[in-house]
Chain A
Amino acid sequence: MTPVVHRVVGRIQETDDVTTLCLEPVTGARMDFRPGQFNMLSAFGVGEAAISLSSAPGDRGPLRHTVRDVGAVTRALCQRDVGDLIGVRGPFGSDWQVPQRTVGTAVKDVRDTVVIAGGIGLAPLRGAVHELVAASHGGGGRVFLLVGAREPSQLVFNDDMEAWARDGARVLVSVDRASPQWHGRVGLVTALLSDAGFDPANCRALLCGPEIMMRFTARALVDMGVAPEAILVSLERNMQCGLGWCGHCQLGPFLLCRDGPVVPYAGIVSQLLTERER
């Protein structure tokens, strides 16, 4: 239950209200984790929030967490400066199950991967895309990244997206409302699906974004011929412990800190995404 004390060694202002914190443990080794998992981050004296890891396990650099300022704790985290201390408990939860980069061994899973993110939903997918792009050079399948955001100013990881595109990934970006400087696509992320060029019969899809976006995107993928079993979604609820004790992260049969956040779309999840919880 006690956090491991980490120091902020870098911070990146991604958008007006989104900050990436780069963290190193004050003592001891950096934690092992899989892309898609999350940590409980403590802003000491304010509280704790569940934040997904946005770095890749294979990175040499510090742990990254990309935080959107939506409440007292996330605001305090966003305001932390280089040198400040942050508590970290984790990693918790399920992951995207992307092929692991193992030097010298061929990647066995050669399916296409289509990664679809809405807004800051790209954060828990960033590490997975890193791994997938690396794996694609070691015999792994092709990588397609489809990103939607409300406005161009809300896009995160623009440098990464350029780098992934240079590295062979097909990256398509669309915004709901264009700004005068925007020359890219306008419209919902689902409109990008048909242009992407992945093989629906031989692919996996990783989705993270607002639930309504995941609902429509997953349905569109199934309509294109993608097997529901090949679709993974990342779900989110209030989390206070990460340990399966506090009861806040329940969604139907799930305790999302334990059974999620990454869950298969097939079966109960497709139903949960259509039911009104209100």
Chain B
Amino acid sequence: MAKSNNPSVSSKVQLGEVVVLRLDGLDSLVARLTALGFETKGPVVRDGAVVPGPITGVADLPVGVHDEQAPGSYRLTRGDDGRLFDWAVGPGSWKAEFFPPSQEVWRAVKVGDSMQFTESAPLAPLAIVGARPCETAALDVLDRVLKDGAHRDPVYADRREGAFVAVVECATPASTCFCSSMGTGPGIEGGFDLALTEIDDARGHRFVVRAGSDAGVEVLSVLAHEEALDEDLEARGRVLDQAAARMGRQLQTEGLASLLARNVEHPRWADVAERCLSCANCTLVCPTCFCSDVRDTSDLDGTLERRRVWSSCFDLEHSYLHGGAVRTSASSRYRQWMTHKLSTWWDQFDTSGCVGCGRCIAWCPVGIDITEEAAFIAASDGATPANAVSKASAP
């Protein structure tokens, strides 16, 4: 007979210690974070998709919700299993919480013979319960752009540094997921305040929880938790093994950056351009895409406002330079996007720009698949329009 966990206690947890929370413990976690003054958010179902939203407890989470994802398609289904996190990432990412799609940078008014500026107010501290491992990896990527470079974006950096992040490891990756290839999931070993693994077996529906920071230790210590047994750790291992085994896609990352750098003239770029609509969906759903436009407006009363809004390298205006766009063709824009993600991001920020979340595959209206495009180019390395490989002979 399986051992049962020790009865619930609230006791000081050590950094790195593993404990078990039941559903009521998860409820208390949300309540505790809110009581500490955090704006508490988690995955919620809205408009037929799992997206970030405000939560007050377990009931707000996607209870019994599952997903079916494939190139160009995303669909939620409902079960009666009561599981909370058996879905893969949806179209919304946590990026928007730190780097809003439209954000005031400053307002200015004329005062005397000069101007007075008011910078945008800092956002409230945010707590996330239920980010996926690839999503915290994506935030780490964004940190290198907006926080850790020569110039620190104060709104992003303050909100990021003040955030509390409870990650839930992935048990059921989608067919579009390839985080195993990118080293960003389905499990997570660092860079979180708390890491949870959802388990539902003979010994009940519960979460194996690790504290990864002092803030995580503090919050976890006041929640009713149980000591984790070997069986709990083994159950977590099984969840992660099964998740890795059902990963729907893979990307061969070895040598990929230089492969794309030397295949600028590859005929595949023209081929993908025949399918690509330049709709920019892929950049909107991508959790690491950071391009923005800076826009100035003036009110009738003379107040000036500068905003920063998301933009996309698929927009013609993105590369506008005295009187015309530099990247005029769809092929040059798709090549810019994919080569940036997988190649020049390394040059610029010493990391991959892709975390393998699969969003761009599911949300591309024509199902263009970054892993398939990369595999094609790898299989026909060095092809040029002059020596083009026929479509039939490539994978």
Q: Contact residues of A with B, CB < 8 Å?
A: 1-3, 5, 26-27, 42, 44-48, 68, 70-71, 85, 87, 236-238, 240-241, 243-248, 250, 252-255, 258, 275-278
Enumerate chain A residues within 8 angstroms of B327, measured Cβ to Cβ.
277-278
CB atoms of A246 and B296 under 8 A apart: no
23 contacts between A and B (CB under 8 A): A2-B106, A2-B108, A44-B304, A45-B298, A45-B304, A68-B322, A70-B322, A238-B318, A240-B293, A240-B294, A243-B153, A244-B145, A244-B151, A245-B151, A245-B290, A246-B292, A246-B308, A248-B293, A248-B311, A252-B261, A253-B344, A254-B347, A277-B332
CB atoms of B296 and A71 under 8 A apart: no
B321 contacts which of A3, A44, A48, A238 (Cβ < 8 Å)? A238
Q: How far is the CB of A27 from chain B (nearest CB, A)?
A: 7
CB atoms of B318 and A245 under 8 A apart: no
- Known contacts A2-B106, A42-B296, A45-B304; is-contact A26 B113 (Cβ 8 Å): yes
Is B10 part of the binding interface, using a Cβ–Cβ cutoff of 8 Å? no
Q: How far is the CB of B268 from chain A (nearest CB, A)?
A: 16
A26 contacts which of B114, B291, B321, B348 (Cβ < 8 Å)? B114
Q: How far is the CB of A96 from chain B (nearest CB, A)?
A: 20
- Known contacts A26-B114, A70-B322, A70-B323; is-contact A258 B296 (Cβ 8 Å): no
CB atoms of B106 and A1 under 8 A apart: yes
CB atoms of A237 and B264 under 8 A apart: no
Enumerate chain B residues within 8 angstroms of A236, measured Cβ to Cβ.
321
> Number of residue pairs across A and B with beta carbons under 8 Å?
113
CB atoms of A27 and B117 under 8 A apart: no
Query: Nearest B residue to A74 by beta-carbon distance?
Result: B322
Q: How many residues on B have C-beta within 8 angstroms of the other chain's C-beta atoms?
A: 48
Complex Cα gap A104–B257 (Å): 50
Q: Contact residues of B with A, CB < 8 Å?
A: 105-106, 108, 113-115, 117, 119, 145-146, 149-151, 153-154, 261, 264-265, 290-298, 304, 306, 308, 311, 313, 318-323, 326-329, 332, 336, 340, 344, 347-348
CB atoms of B119 and A1 under 8 A apart: yes
- Known contacts A2-B119, A237-B321; is-contact A246 B294 (Cβ 8 Å): yes
Query: Nearest A residue to B324 by beta-carbon distance?
Result: A70
Taking chain A's interface residues, is the majority helix, strand, or loop, or is none over half, making it mixed?
loop
Query: Nearest B residue to A45 by beta-carbon distance?
Result: B298
CB atoms of B298 and A245 under 8 A apart: no
- Known contacts A253-B344, A253-B347, A255-B348; is-contact A247 B292 (Cβ 8 Å): yes
Enumerate chain A residues within 8 angstroms of B293, measured Cβ to Cβ.
240, 246, 248
Query: Nearest B residue to A73 by beta-carbon distance?
Result: B296
CB atoms of B318 and A248 under 8 A apart: yes
Enumerate chain A residues within 8 angstroms of B290, measured Cβ to Cβ.
245, 247
Complex Cα gap A48–B305 (Å): 12
Complex Cα gap A29–B321 (Å): 32
A248 contacts which of B145, B298, B319, B332 (Cβ < 8 Å)? B319
Q: How far is the CB of A56 from chain B (nearest CB, A)?
A: 25
Q: How far is the CB of B337 from chain A (nearest CB, A)?
A: 11
Enumerate chain B residues within 8 angstroms of A48, measured Cβ to Cβ.
294, 296, 306
Enumerate chain B residues within 8 angstroms of A237, measured Cβ to Cβ.
319, 321, 326
Complex Cα gap A236–B319 (Å): 11
Enumerate chain B residues within 8 angstroms of A277, measured Cβ to Cβ.
319, 326-327, 332
Complex Cα gap A44–B327 (Å): 29
Report, nearest first, the 6 A-B pairs whose CB atoms are least far apart: A253-B347, A247-B291, A45-B298, A70-B322, A243-B151, A2-B117
Complex Cα gap A69–B297 (Å): 20
CB atoms of B344 and A250 under 8 A apart: yes
CB atoms of B106 and A253 under 8 A apart: no
Enumerate chain A residues within 8 angstroms of B348, measured Cβ to Cβ.
250, 253-255
A250 contacts which of B119, B321, B336 (Cβ < 8 Å)? B336
- Known contacts A44-B296, A71-B322; is-contact A244 B119 (Cβ 8 Å): no
Enumerate chain A residues within 8 angstroms of B294, measured Cβ to Cβ.
47-48, 240-241, 246
Enumerate chain A residues within 8 angstroms of B344, measured Cβ to Cβ.
250, 252-253
Complex Cα gap A252–B319 (Å): 13
CB atoms of B323 and A46 under 8 A apart: no
Complex Cα gap A241–B149 (Å): 14
Q: How far is the CB of A47 from chain B (nearest CB, A)?
A: 5
CB atoms of B291 and A248 under 8 A apart: yes
Besides the known contacts A48-B296, A245-B153, A276-B332, 4 further A-B residue pairs in the complex with CB atoms under 8 A apart: A3-B117, A42-B296, A44-B304, A247-B290
